[in-house]
Chain A
Amino acid sequence: MTREELKSYVEGHFDGKLKSLDTGRYDPIFEIQPSDLITVAKALRDDESLKMDFLCNLGAVDTCEKLEVVYSVASTTKNLRLDFKFSLPYDNPEVDSIKEVWPGIDWYEREIWELYGINVRNHGNLKQFLLPDDWDQGNPMRKDWDAPDFIRMPEV
């Protein structure tokens, strides 16, 4: 399946829950509704022609207007890869945990909780792990956060 075929296949299946975006520069990227996350993840993993069994990456993005969460998944048997993402509001962002679909997402979800302040429902082990134990200065990966002793690089 080429990237174009993958794109049209995913758009045509899954009840239109994945909408194709044109921001992806290599692999196809789709937008979903946050409430569909668990259904979509399970469907992608269990679909016979996709078999997206491998979670590559989970990253959050702060665009200064909203937060985005991007899931990168791949198939180890079909050599396919795609991303899907959704936006979250700046206040009280929450996502569902999909540990039941890909257990390896555990620490990635802890990371977005810790660094971006995105609450992960039903995760069960949201503990600080990258930041120091006595950290009380908020979520450092957000764009409105600057370190107290931060000196911006001179423009080149």
Chain B
Amino acid sequence: MPDLRTQEYMVNMGPHHPSTHGVCRLILTMDGEKVVDIEPVIGYLHRSLEKVCENRTYAQCIPIMDRFEYVTSMSTNQVFSLAAERLAEIEVPERAEYLRVIMLELNRIASHLLFYGTTAMDCGALTPFLYGLRERELIIDLFEMTCGQRLTYNYIWVGGVSKDIPPEFEPKCREAIKIIGEKLDDYQGLLNENPIWLARMKDVGILDPDLAIAWGVSGPVLRASGVKYDLRKDDPYSIYDKFDFDIPTLEAGDNFDRYLLRIEEIKQSIRIIEQALDGLPEGPIRGKVKANFKPPEGEVYCRIENSRGEMGVYIRSDGSKKPLRVKMRGGSFNQLQVLPEIVRGKGYYIADLVAIFATLDIILPEVDR
């Protein structure tokens, strides 16, 4: 029998692969079934949002920010509003701050439920997807009754929020978080002892904490590697310092810990929402802000804790009613950047890669902007 010649070969995964959560192309260098190296190719969803914002007033930028990261667009509204408020020194009424926190945390839960569903589906389990989206629907209904939108909310405005919550919001919200809190055990029961799930999750995709910090990885991915860093506690914004909640961390930094950590975060978000609903004060929902306010010359980089890590926006004002520059920073950008470092040389299969990609919780509109 003649000697068989072996060589590495290239495979294109995507751009339209269902497990790339958007449109992302991964150029894989394969050795047989094993991934040797990987090069992400992005830009398929680039909509030049930053350039678009330069031609709009600050208030008109908020709906553009919705499209930056549409899974948690409450956060994108919040980070832009916060930056504009710090630039123009605008005060936000207390009721508006409470409403913001409630909406941000509801959005975080909705995002983590989507993560739970899609990650399980990427690993071949379809049922969790149905469960996750069923409970997410309760939250989306709450958003719909408040601002009329189910996806891009345009709810948090500079100086406050756009609309007050309707009277039926509070009982429905309490009911929704109660249901979600009870279902969390069911969710884990579906997956935590499933051998197929564990084979893709345990000890796969380990991210070393030093590597994670050096590559700018943040959010649940960083905390699953054992780094206790959460901007809600470490660089508090809005009124997060008023609430009592914990920052869960796990040590292993593998896929399984990233999944478990998000389940824990849902519990903490429920705690925050309960406290915020209890303490919700009466009062105005928007400060006195002119429609075309002109912030003084200056610049600010402002960041918040999104469900995908640090979300930031840099705004430069030249004293006119339009920003001179808006730079958006999303957690997914760095999480996708570190993906080759996690995979390279570890001998993972493509199916492992799909699971790693899913637990990093990358969504592509945030990467491409």
Residues in A lying within 8 Å of B, measured CB to CB? 23-27, 29, 53-57, 59, 61-63, 70, 72, 74, 76, 79, 81, 83, 102-107, 128-132, 140-141, 152-153, 156
Contact = CB atoms under 8 A, between A and B. Distances in A.
Contact of B216 (A61, A104, A129): A104
Given A24-B300, A102-B214, 4 more contacts: A25-B298, A54-B213, A59-B325, A102-B216
Given A56-B303, A76-B213, A104-B338, A81 B327 contact: no
Contact of B50 (A63, A104, A141, A156): A141
B215 A104 contact: yes
A26 B292 CA distance: 22
A107 B337 contact: yes
Nearest to B59: A156
Interface in B27-56: 41-43, 46, 48, 50-51, 55-56
B219 to A, nearest CB: 12
A64 B250 CA distance: 48
11 contacts: A25-B87, A54-B216, A57-B301, A70-B299, A70-B314, A76-B213, A104-B217, A104-B334, A104-B337, A130-B368, A156-B292
A57 B214 contact: no
Contact of A156 (B57, B213, B298): B57
Contacts of A57: 301, 312, 314, 327, 329
A62 B213 CA distance: 29
B302 interface: yes
Nearest to A56: B312
B333 interface: yes
A153 B56 contact: yes
Contact of A130 (B46, B337, B338): B46
A5 to B, nearest CB: 16
B55 A152 contact: yes
Contacts of B303: 56, 81
Which 6 interchain pairs have the tightest Cβ spacing?
Answer: A104-B216, A59-B327, A104-B215, A25-B300, A130-B43, A72-B301
B43 A132 contact: yes
A103 B215 CA distance: 5
B322 to A, nearest CB: 9
Nearest to A54: B213
Interface in B207-262: 213-218, 227, 229, 234-235
Interface string B306-328: 00001010101010000011010
B301 A61 contact: no
B227 A76 contact: yes
A148 B67 CA distance: 23
A141 B325 CA distance: 9
Nearest to A83: B301
B43 A56 contact: no
Contacts of A102: 214, 216
B267 to A, nearest CB: 24
B43 A131 contact: yes
Nearest to A129: B43
A23 B235 contact: no
Contacts of A132: 43
A53 B222 CA distance: 13
Nearest to A145: B51
B86 interface: yes
A25 B312 CA distance: 15
B325 A103 contact: no
Nearest to A53: B213
A63 B324 CA distance: 7
Nearest to A114: B43
A14 B88 CA distance: 32
Contacts of B316: 61
Nearest to B291: A156
Given A24-B298, A25-B87, A56-B301, A104 B214 contact: yes
A103 B338 CA distance: 9
B298 A23 contact: yes
Contacts of B137: none
Contacts of A131: 43, 46
Contacts of A53: 213-214
Contacts of A62: 325
A56 B300 contact: no
